[in-house]
Amino acid sequence: MRIRTQFVLNTLLFGIILVLMAVSAFVTHRQVDTTRKQDSIAASIAQGANELSYLANDYLIYRESQQLSRWQSRFALFSNQVAALNVDRPEQQVLTRNIQVNLHRLQDVFNSAVSAAGVSSSSQETVLDPALLQVSWSRIAIQSQGLISDASRLSQLLRQQMDNLMNRRSLLIYLMTGLFGALLLTSYLLTYQRILKSLAKVQAGTASIGSGNFDFKFADEKNDEIGDLSRAFNQMTADLKTVTASKADLEHEIAERKQAEEALRAAHAQAVWLARFPEQNPNPILRASADGTVLYCNPASAKLSGWRCDVGRVPPNDLLPLVGRAMAEGTELQQDVQLGERFYIVCVSPFPKEGYANIYGSDITERKQAEEALRRSEEHFRALAEALPQIVWTADAEGGVEWFNNRWYDYTGEPYGIGQGWGWELTAHPDDMPHTLKNWQEARQRGTLFQNEIRVRSHAGQYRWFLVRAWPLLDEDGKVVRWFGTNTDIEELRQVEQKLRESEARYRTLFESMTEGFALHEILCDEQGRPCDYRFLDVNPAFERLTGLKRADLLSRCVRDVLPGTEAHWIENFGRVALTGEPVHFENFSASLGRWYEVFAYRPVVNQFAVLFTDITERKRAEEALRKAHNDLEKRVHERTSELSTAVQSLQAEVVQRKRLEATLRESENQVRFFASQCLTAQESERKRIAGELHDSISASLAATKFAIERASEEMKRGHGDPESLKNLAANLTGIITEVRRIMADLRPSILDDLGILAALNWFCREYRKSYSHIAVEKQIGIEEHEVPDSLKTPVFRISQEAMSNISKHSQASLIKLSLKKEDGRMLLTIHDNGQGFDPETVGKGLGLSSIRERAELSGGACSIESAKGAGTTVCCSWPI
Amino acid sequence: MKGHIQRTDGFTLVKLVLGLLVGVSLGFWSCSRQDNSGVVESITVGYPPFESATLFYIAEDQRFFSRNSLNVTPRRYDTGVATLGGLSNREVDIAVGIAEFPLVGRALQNEKLIIIGNIDKAEFIFLLGRKDRGIEKVSDLRGKRVGTTFGTVAHFHLGRFLDLHGMSIKELTLVDVKTPEEWVNAVVTGDIDAVATAQPYADFVKDRLGENGVVWPAQSGQPLHGLVISSKEWITRHPEGTKRFLKSLAEAEGYLLSHPAEAKVILQKWLNLDAASVERIWSRNQFSISLDQALIATMEDEARWMIANGLTSEENTPDFNEYIHLDDLKAVKPEAVHIIR
């Protein structure tokens, strides 16, 4: 791609990103603004529901028109707010729909409550029936709370939406910024790669070309501006190379000549150096004639003791035979020679044709001394090796055994020398050979310690395990020159190890399978030596199971690190065990694990402690439950005892009460018997009265009518009957009918059933005044007909009848005041006269008064009779309604 | 060759930057995902065959429970009362789609069952009468044999419906019909003159009676709830399970909103309904998980009604705040909780 195109594209991309960022910010702002408005509406709806609930209840309590109009006005506003809700997400739309449905329900409920309130009470009453009020209030509360809940939830969702929008905007900006940065980085890398790197290569290439390297060629074949430049440079280099070819050939020839001159100078220096060699050699060099006369001796031979010889003299005596033998044999001889206190290796090179021999000496005194020391050391080593209980051996650098001490021969029973080289393989167990040879090969290659276990056959034919170890002996260059090895009998050790392994396996199985948790720890102390922490060394699976902690998470870690909430008392207790060795056994609660444990801790080694524990949380809970149950039982027994005591007291009181009640009952029974007898008497009296009435009025009238009918019949038989006599008969019958009605009315006025108690009392008072015109009757009624229960109408009428009858018979009163009214939830009937009165102690148990009292009490009411001589009488009865 | 090597290094850098961006994005993505790992809990859930348990049907059908590491065993009962009985007898761990009225009855008997969520608000109690028994208007119900299941929310709404029409439930001859089959058959065969019952059985009765039937919505605008109930002991012992259960129901609500057609098919399948019935159900239910003050107000209203009608020996309304557990729903869906405490 062309650099210009790349630049244009980059600019375009940057522009797009900037536009995207701006558009995103603008769109999000619009969305947030819209959502905020909807949130405001939702909040207003929640508040509106609250206000509507208040206004509805206000109206239901007071039922005044202004509350109703307020409710309707607020509801209209509320409906508008609900209608203004416009959300786009499914969950928000569902809530909006719920709000709309609940809005209509609220209106329906309120309207039905208003309607029910209107129906349930009369127009004069302002107080709604409490039950209906409660029901209406609850129904409105349910609707309004549902509205509030949905509106609040919608508001929260809208707020979440706003937050999400803001977060999304931020994320988008971050993303765009990141993209912007990535684009910048990519642009930089591309520029670096494509332009700067290419320019650098061009720069390096021009430098190379500038230094005369016309073979340089730019490899960049890109189709861009740099590629164009590279191709131009390649063309230019090719042209320059052609122009400067002859100059290069000339320079090459000059260089070769310089090299030849340099080689000549070096050969001459070597020749001079070689010529000076004998003179400078520190070792003695002689040339002697065939008869032994010294023809040449270098300066070193003149200085060395034992070599002191000069040209023309004979060499030292020990050299002469060598010279003679070499000249005679014509071959070079070499021999160690001691001259004085020093040792030399002497090499005699004969030149028989020339008649002389060159004698070269080299001082080997130090080497000889070292060899002697080595020999003595070898003897010492072998003596020492023979003294060792182990098999000791040496081997050469190639691994062949050079020497075994006598332990090997004693053990294997092999004849001396058999084990040397690789003969020892015959005594080794065939199964152990492959790995032994492999290890031995590797050790020799590395030049490091060789260690191996191998079974070796004894002279008795039994194999025993040996630990074979060999150390390399290195020379100054680090090369192995020899191996020193030992074979140690480890048969018993192996057996012990095997037993140990078996034992450990047994204990490991026990460790793994035991149900108690087990853990081994190392105690850690602070600078004052006080236990401050402990480290887990090992735990068994039961430990993991009981604590919920994993072994891998615990090993080598400290308890304060693993369980930061570990209480100090655990560390103190375990520290005491680890430091003093005194075992402990206790039960305690671990707050960090939230469980109870029974713990036994002991010290296996100093500064360590092992813990054996079981989880007793369930047992503790059971104990706690048992203790609580015991306490509860104690408490219950105590309470029961107290209750029993109270009950006994109550029983005693009840006994007293019962005795009193029994006395009352006996008195009541007597009274009942008295009343029964009185009732019988009254019945008889009433029957007598009715019989008297029937006899006095009806019977006589009927008899008179009968006679009149017979007389009329007789007259009609005689043919001169008078029809007028029948009219009188009809008048008589009408009188009889009226009389029968009067008697029936006295027994039970039909008006009581037909028109009710109030009409019956009116009728009775009117009739009473007709019968007893000297007694005035003042009547006061303060109760509605429907307020008098049906069951009380007859008792009220009869009591009034009985009381006023008594007054007419006994009081000599001139005024009766009769009152029937409602007061404090009770109905009161009062009959007062201004007569002579009586003493209630003496007269109060008479039939009439007793009958009044009895009627009142049997109908669920109460009765009081107040009277005093000369002060009139007041009968007052009341019933709950 | 040198130039080629340098270009490779440049591309490596670009790849490194892109890899870093992808890695960071994946990191954010994986961090943003909620961790549902954990031990699978097994839960037995009781439900009545009503539309009030719709979210439960969806969660079970769409495997939201298993995705939240719950192994749910559904157990069907005939009524909400029977389901609540199953919960009391520990036959189930959680009861769903239960109306509040049976719980109010239990509360008045001092039985502490705990509401952990509400998944439906609905009007699906209807009163249906037979015209051939002289039932044309509400007052015609006087002295008639009217069936309902005692102690259910239908019982309450029948009583409340009559109260609001100036009548007392004592003016009827109430018949306790206990199973969905009885609700339909008893009134269709004429064993009873009218029935107060829940949907979809009210629709079945309406269809069977045809022109001979008269129908009144019995709830008088007061919605009933489809509650999720458990015992205090179970909630205490399974806090994580409770949260996962509510989370699954909340996910079912999301599914219902985003896939209404599929959700309707699921309900149709569970209750064996026709498409028209499902559409009617959709119009009269609010399937959403929540806990709000209206629930308390409703339960208190029902408790007062039971006391006033002598259906309990208790004289005081219980404090229903003690029967509602808010914390787990707050943890799962905080915006759905509106209870005054």
pLDDT of residue B259: 94
| For residues A844-872, average pLDDT | 80
The shortest C-alpha distance from A234 to chain B (Å) reads: 16
Whether pLDDT at A333 is above 50 = yes
Query: Which residues in A266-305 are b (16+ Cβ under 10 Å) and which e?
Result: eeeeeeeeeeeebeebebbbbbbebebebeebbebbeebe
Structure confidence by residue, pLDDT tens digits, A225-282: 777 777 777 777 776 676 565 445 545 655 665 676 677 677 556 655 655 577 777 7
Whether pLDDT at B37 is above 80 = no
Structure confidence by residue, pLDDT tens digits, A8-21: 888 888 888 888 88
Residues of B in contact with A143 (CB under 8 A): 221-222, 294
pLDDT of residue B133: 93
Q: Is B9 or B164 the better-scoring residue by pLDDT?
A: B164
Share of chain B above pLDDT 70, in %: 89
Structure confidence by residue, pLDDT tens digits, A715-771: 777 776 677 767 777 777 887 887 777 777 666 666 777 778 888 888 888 888 877
| For residues A620-646, average pLDDT | 87
Whether pLDDT at B31 is above 50 = no
| For residues A686-713, average pLDDT | 71
| For residues B140-150, average pLDDT | 93
Q: Is A795 or A315 the better-scoring residue by pLDDT?
A: A795
Among A87, A104, A139, which would you mutate to test the B interface (most chain B Cβ atoms within 10 Å of its Cβ)? Answer: A139
| For residues A559-587, average pLDDT | 88
The C-alpha torsion from A603 through A608 and A612 to A614, rounded to 10°, is: 130
CB atoms A131 and B308 under 8 Å: yes
Tell me the pLDDT band of B70, cut-offs 50, 70 and 90: very high
Q: SS3 helix, strand, coil % of chain A, rounded to 5?
A: 65, 20, 20
**Chain B contact present for A101, CB below 8 A:** yes
**Chain B contact present for A136, CB below 8 A:** no
Q: Output DSSP code: residue A421.
A: B
Whether pLDDT at B33 is above 80 = no
Share of chain A above pLDDT 70, in %: 90
Is the distance from CB of A346 to CB of A335 less than 8 angstroms? yes
pLDDT of residue B326: 93
Nearest to B3 among A98, A131, A220 (CB): A220
Residues of A in contact with B220 (CB under 8 A): 108-109, 112, 139
pLDDT averaged over every residue in chain B? 87
CB atoms B257 and A91 under 8 Å: yes
Q: Is B13 or B35 the better-scoring residue by pLDDT?
A: B13
The C-alpha torsion from A703 through A706 and A710 to A711, rounded to 10°, is: 60
pLDDT of residue A22: 84
Smallest CA–CA distance from A190 into chain B, residue: B10
Nearest to B257 among A90, A190, A201 (CB): A90
Question: Which among B122, B180, B170 has a CA at the least distance from the CA of B146?
Answer: B170
| For residues A355-359, average pLDDT | 88
DSSP β-bridge partners for residue A833? A816, A873
Smallest CA–CA distance from A100 into chain B, residue: B286
CB atoms B223 and A94 under 8 Å: no
Whether pLDDT at B34 is above 50 = no
**Chain A contact present for B304, CB below 8 A:** yes
**Chain B contact present for A131, CB below 8 A:** yes
Residue A567 has phi, psi (to 5 degrees) of -75, 150
**Chain A contact present for B254, CB below 8 A:** yes
pLDDT of residue B17: 57
Residues of B in contact with A105 (CB under 8 A): 221-223
**Chain B contact present for A859, CB below 8 A:** no
Contact pairs from chain A to chain B, CB under 8 Å: 106
CB-facing half-sphere around the CA of B54: CA atoms within 13 A: 32
Smallest CA–CA distance from A104 into chain B, residue: B221
Nearest to B294 among A119, A149, A197 (CB): A149
Whether pLDDT at A394 is above 50 = yes
Find the angle CA(A542)-CA(A543)-CA(A545) to the nearest 5 degrees: 60
Nearest to A112 among B164, B288, B300 (CB): B164
Helix (H, G, I), strand (E, B) or coil at A446: helix
Helix (H, G, I), strand (E, B) or coil at A720: coil
CB atoms A139 and B293 under 8 Å: no
pLDDT of residue A272: 55
Structure pTM?
A: 0.44
pLDDT of residue B62: 95
CB atoms B294 and A186 under 8 Å: no
**Chain A contact present for B310, CB below 8 A:** no
* Cα gap A666→A668, rounded to integer Å: 5
Tell me the pLDDT band of B16, cut-offs 50, 70 and 90: low
CB atoms A152 and B13 under 8 Å: no
**Chain B contact present for A750, CB below 8 A:** no
Is the distance from CB of A818 to CB of A830 less than 8 angstroms? yes
CB atoms B164 and A134 under 8 Å: no
Tell me the pLDDT band of A675, cut-offs 50, 70 and 90: low
Is the distance from CB of B131 to CB of B214 less than 8 angstroms? yes
| For residues A474-496, average pLDDT | 88
Is the distance from CB of A97 to CB of A150 less than 8 angstroms? no
**Tokens 């440079």 sit on residue:** A233
Query: Which residues in A735-744 are b (16+ Cβ under 10 Å) and which e?
Result: ebeebeeeee
**Chain A contact present for B166, CB below 8 A:** yes
**Chain A contact present for B20, CB below 8 A:** no
CB atoms B13 and A138 under 8 Å: no
The shortest C-alpha distance from A222 to chain B (Å) reads: 12
Smallest CA–CA distance from A139 into chain B, residue: B222
**Chain A contact present for B300, CB below 8 A:** yes
Tell me the pLDDT band of A126, cut-offs 50, 70 and 90: low
| For residues A295-314, average pLDDT | 79
Whether pLDDT at B57 is above 70 = yes
Structure confidence by residue, pLDDT tens digits, B279-325: 988 988 999 999 998 899 899 988 988 888 888 888 888 999 999 99
State the CB neighbour count (10 A cutoff) for residue A782: 12
The shortest C-alpha distance from A233 to chain B (Å) reads: 16
CB atoms B17 and A112 under 8 Å: no
**Chain A contact present for B10, CB below 8 A:** yes
CB atoms A153 and B6 under 8 Å: no
**Tokens 């045809």 sit on residue:** B210
The shortest C-alpha distance from B222 to chain A (Å) reads: 7
Nearest to B338 among A153, A186, A190 (CB): A153
Q: Which of A63-77, A315-329, B33-47, B253-267 has the lowest average pLDDT?
A: B33-47
Nearest to A90 among B21, B221, B258 (CB): B258
**Chain B contact present for A130, CB below 8 A:** no
**Chain B contact present for A168, CB below 8 A:** no
CB atoms B221 and A105 under 8 Å: yes
Q: What is the complex's ipTM, to 2 decimals?
A: 0.73
Structure confidence by residue, pLDDT tens digits, A494-514: 888 889 888 888 888 888 888
Q: What is the 3-state secondary structure (H, E, C) of A490-519?
A: CHHHHHHHHHHHHHHHHHHHHHHHCCCEEE
Whether pLDDT at A539 is above 80 = yes
pLDDT of residue B263: 96
Compute the Cα dihedral for A681, A682, A686, A687 and give only its sign: negative
pLDDT averaged over every residue in chain A? 83
Smallest CA–CA distance from B287 into chain A, residue: A94
Share of chain A above pLDDT 90, in %: 13
- How many residues comprise chain A? 881
Mode of pairing for the β-strands spanning B145-148 and B194-198? parallel
Is the distance from CB of A87 to CB of A100 less than 8 angstroms? no
Among B25, B298, B302, B337, which would you mutate to test the A interface (most chain A Cβ atoms within 10 Å of its Cβ)? Answer: B298
**Chain A contact present for B26, CB below 8 A:** no
Structure confidence by residue, pLDDT tens digits, B94-116: 999 999 988 998 999 888 899 99
Nearest to A189 among B13, B160, B292 (CB): B13
**Chain B contact present for A184, CB below 8 A:** no
